[in-house]
Structure 1
Amino acid sequence: MIDQIHSNLFKPFFNLVGVKGKIMGIAIILILLLASLLILESEDIFTQVLRHEVEKQGISLAQYIAVRSEDFLLTNNLFGLHQLIKDVMNNNQELAYILIFNSQGELVSDTFGRKIPKELIDFNQNFNQISSNQDYSSKTFRNEGGIIHDIAVPIWQGRYGIVRLGVTEVYIDQALTKLKYLLWFSTVLISFLGIAIAYFLANLINKPLSELVTATGKVGSGKLDYRVSLDWAEDELGKLGQAFNNMTAKLQRTAIERRKLWKELQKKEERRQYLLNKVIMAQEEERKRIARELHDETSQALTSLNLALANLENTDEQKKFNERIKMMKKTIAKVLDEINLLARQLRPSILDDLGLAAAVENYIKESSKYWNEDVGLHINGLIDTTLAKEVEITVYRIIQEALTNALRYAEADNISVIINNREGNLLVIIEDDGCGFDLDEVMNSDRTQEHLGLLGMQERADLLGGELTIETGEGNGTTVYVNIPVNDTSIIEEEFDD
């Protein structure tokens, strides 16, 4: 509660001026406080010194009068005595009075002329007494004129009497007035000098602070390349500027990386959306292909078989009958082979029964026979190894797509497939020494069938957290590298639906 009250009282005053005003205000307040303390302390010390000097001067004058008045008192020359104290009074304006008493304590000469103030007689009789063995006695009292230093000096050890004189502080007051003017004048000069120095220091401190405030606004508005130039400062402000620049540099790098990742994410999302939009089209194309295969091959073979059966009824000779039966068996075998091939292309059952190695080996064998092209195969690390179903179907489909492209377009003399399972990574390489192609041109072209096939391979690898790299060039052949982690089964849990 108290802290809240202090805070509410302090905040309005604190927020009246900026940092520069606060620094200058503090400097001015400190200068005025120090100057006031200096003036008061100097006045006290100077007053004590001057009072000591006044007392010494009064003692010297009293001793002088005591020595000179011996002869006048011895000869009872009151006129000479009076002339002596008159001369001393005229030559020393700070003296208030001079009194001379004889040995019986009677006043024989004074500077008042007519009547001595009663308070002075009482003071001399009651307060400032002196014995014969004292050199002097000094007391202080105050009257209407101010402070008086009353000094008593014995005349010839008190045998002839006593000299008493009063010394005022008029010169002390004048000296103190001059001293005060001098000190205040010096204070004003020092204050102006202090204000100038404070203004310089305030600007020196406020400049980097203002620059940091400006930089904060720039960075807040999105200008992450803005930097503060505080290299000249080697103190905490310089360190603050360096820390600010380091922070903005990290923010800039983070923003660049974020924009890069965002662009990559947008590109992947665009590719994913395109592939998803193509799913239905791909399904329809697959249905058309199956229908075409059934119509062009199976249907024609069955039609031919039907005609053969019709002609078989009109065949009388056993030999022709046997030949037609043999031809019909070949047609039936061909139809069965085509139907089996079509089924295996849709979903190879050997992949589920015997695993990836056997499925790839069987597919390469059939492809080599169909395309009349030898394909090399090297498999390492898959014996007695069970891979996740999604890994097996992904790798199989990538090999199927890459190998089909090589057999159909590459015009290669040598084609090879390498599968290597080692240290939790499945590495697949499909390479040929064919004509190759311009990868950038294909990837940046309109959505062709070749483009869609490459995107499909890339998407399959990405879904398993893997990497797919294609190295090719016109006349340099083509190599497809696929690297898929096989230990992290949490990447994708659901089975691929092909």
Structure 2
Amino acid sequence: MESASPLLSTQIETVAELRELYRAAEARAARLRLLSQAGGELALAEMTTVETVLQACAGRLAHFLGRGRASIAPQGPGLGLRAPGQSEGTAAAPFAFVIIDGFADLSDIPDSEDREAVRLVLELMGATASRIEREAERGRLTATLREREQRLEYVVGRLFTAQEDERRRLSHELHDGVAQTATALVRLLEGGTDRVKEPVAGPQRARLAQIARELVQEIRAIIGGLRPTLLDDLGLRAALRYLAESLETDGYTVTFDVPVGAMPLPSAVETALFRVAQEAVSNIRKHAGGPCPVTLSLRADADSGITLQIGDAGRGLSYSEPTGLGARQGMHVGREVMHERMLAIGGHLLWEASPDGVSVTAHLPQPL
């Protein structure tokens, strides 16, 4: 029996070594299985499935570490999820944490190889979350650009139509107004050529002067409709005052609040703001339902920027703000043009309708 004891001792040591090798092989297989399964699922994760996939990976980490469950939370303590390029030594904090009971940090994992496997899975989870966020942002930007392209195509098409309509309107006004007045003046003058040596009678002279004055007024009205000379000669305040007075002439009660001596603005900004006000006034005439109280105000400050507001207390509009291109196509091009004019100078437009009237606010954070 004594001679068998060394052999038995050797066999026991061999069994122990084999058991250790088996356990080490099982541990390596578990690590490989964890990395393989997590990596495969994370690689296939999409925006609609990423939360489920991340939670499943967190559960696998918990089972790997001998725990029953895990959760993902925005606050720790826990195993941090970081974007690619961020390690535990960097100043950037994790954007989320895998909460597993008993593991507040990677250092709580005693085995170095297990710790490395968990670290790799956490990196894969962080990279996947970052990838999905970038894809979502690209999707949002692409959708915004696509909608903007559609809007621009729509506006350009409507602008060409509006241009032709404006040319047609000017043609009719020139034909029916200026041309007729000029024709009458010419005929009166031609009728007097036979009596050129005779002095022109007082009433006839007065009539000729009246026709000439009307001709000048009609020409000035057409020029003013294209671009008021007040905007070039006296600035934005005078041009806005002109719009307010034109409403008052039509019976509207206008509260005009534009301070004298406001900060000077670049020409492009003045033109854009005036065109917005001009379109808003035109819409008031079309949709307010007749004379009503109107407010027209302008605030220009070096800190808060420039704000133009035109509002009416008319009957309002029965539809709400459209959000899609299809809904916008049924509306007048004016609103889109106002919006695009403000975008062109770095501002934005807010259009609000209610049963009590319509308010148009154009804001520019800083002048060009």
Q: How does 1:458-497 map to 2 (within 5 A)?
A: 458-473=339-354, 475-487=355-367, 489=368
For the structure 1 residues 299 and 221, does the alpha-carbon distance in structure 2 shift closer, same or farther, using more than 3 Å as the test?
closer
Between the aligned partners of 2:308 and 2:47, the Cα distance in structure 1 is 49
* SS at 2:20 equivalent: helix
**Partner in structure 2 of residue 185 of structure 1:** 11
**Partner in structure 2 of residue 408 of structure 1:** 286
For the pair 1:351 / 2:351, whether they are aligned, the reply is no
* SS at 1:351 equivalent: helix
Tell me which of 247, 267, 273 is aligned to 1:395: 273
* SS at 1:385 equivalent: coil
Between the aligned partners of 2:326 and 2:356, the Cα distance in structure 1 is 20
For the pair 1:419 / 2:298, whether they are aligned, the reply is yes
The answer (yes or no) to whether the contact 2:43–2:128 under 8 Å persists in 1 is: no
C-alpha displacement at 1:394, in angstroms? 0.5
Name the amino acid aligned to 1:447: Q
Between the aligned partners of 1:355 and 1:214, the Cα distance in structure 2 is 67
* SS at 2:258 equivalent: strand
The answer (yes or no) to whether the contact 1:312–1:324 under 8 Å persists in 2 is: no
Q: How does 1:313-392 map to 2 (within 5 A)?
A: 322-369=202-249, 371-380=250-259, 383=261, 385-392=263-270
Name the amino acid aligned to 1:275: V
Deviating more after overlay: 398-407 vs 351-360: 351-360
CA deviation string 1:122-163 (max 9, x = no partner): xxxxxxxxxxxxxxxxxxxxxxxxxxxxxxxxxxxxxxxxxx
**Partner in structure 1 of residue 87 of structure 2:** none
* SS at 1:416 equivalent: strand
**Partner in structure 2 of residue 78 of structure 1:** none
TM-score by length of 1: 0.55
C-alpha displacement at 1:309, in angstroms? 5.0
Q: How does 1:229-248 map to 2 (within 5 A)?
A: 229=58, 230=60, 232=62, 233=65, 234=103, 235=109, 236=115, 237-238=117-118, 240-248=120-128
Q: How does 1:271-310 map to 2 (within 5 A)?
A: 271-308=151-188
Tell me which of 332, 338, 359 is aligned to 1:451: 332
Between the aligned partners of 2:174 and 2:285, the Cα distance in structure 1 is 23
Between the aligned partners of 1:337 and 1:191, the Cα distance in structure 2 is 111
* SS at 2:297 equivalent: strand
Between the aligned partners of 1:212 and 1:294, the Cα distance in structure 2 is 77
Name the amino acid aligned to 1:457: M
Structure 1 segments unaligned to the other structure (5+ residues): 1-173, 490-498
The answer (yes or no) to whether the contact 1:224–1:251 under 8 Å persists in 2 is: no
TM-score by length of 2: 0.72
* SS at 2:274 equivalent: helix
CA deviation string 1:274-308 (max 9, x = no partner): 33344443333222121111012222223344455
C-alpha displacement at 1:457, in angstroms? 0.5
Query: For the pair shown, which has the larger CA radius of gyration, 1 or 2?
Result: 1
C-alpha displacement at 1:184, in angstroms? 3.3
* SS at 2:270 equivalent: helix
* SS at 1:418 equivalent: strand
**Partner in structure 1 of residue 309 of structure 2:** 429
The answer (yes or no) to whether the contact 1:458–1:468 under 8 Å persists in 2 is: yes
Structure 2 segments unaligned to the other structure (5+ residues): 66-102, 104-108, 110-114
Between the aligned partners of 1:334 and 1:223, the Cα distance in structure 2 is 74
Between the aligned partners of 1:351 and 1:429, the Cα distance in structure 2 is 18
**Partner in structure 2 of residue 210 of structure 1:** 36
Name the amino acid aligned to 1:468: L
The answer (yes or no) to whether the contact 2:297–2:310 under 8 Å persists in 1 is: yes
Name the amino acid aligned to 2:239: A
CA deviation string 1:238-284 (max 9, x = no partner): 45544543443343333223212221121112222333344443333
The answer (yes or no) to whether the contact 1:368–1:374 under 8 Å persists in 2 is: yes
Between the aligned partners of 1:217 and 1:253, the Cα distance in structure 2 is 14
The answer (yes or no) to whether the contact 2:299–2:308 under 8 Å persists in 1 is: yes
Q: How does 1:15-94 map to 2 (within 5 A)?
A: none
Name the amino acid aligned to 2:242: N
Q: How does 1:79-158 map to 2 (within 5 A)?
A: none
For the structure 1 residues 408 and 304, does the alpha-carbon distance in structure 2 shift closer, same or farther, using more than 3 Å as the test?
farther
Between the aligned partners of 1:324 and 1:364, the Cα distance in structure 2 is 37
C-alpha displacement at 1:398, in angstroms? 0.5
* SS at 1:471 equivalent: strand
Between the aligned partners of 1:220 and 1:432, the Cα distance in structure 2 is 49
C-alpha displacement at 1:353, in angstroms? 2.2
Name the amino acid aligned to 2:257: H
The count of residues paired between Structure 1 and Structure 2 equals 307
**Partner in structure 2 of residue 7 of structure 1:** none
CA deviation string 1:438-470 (max 9, x = no partner): 14459644635x431111001011111211111
The answer (yes or no) to whether the contact 2:47–2:136 under 8 Å persists in 1 is: no
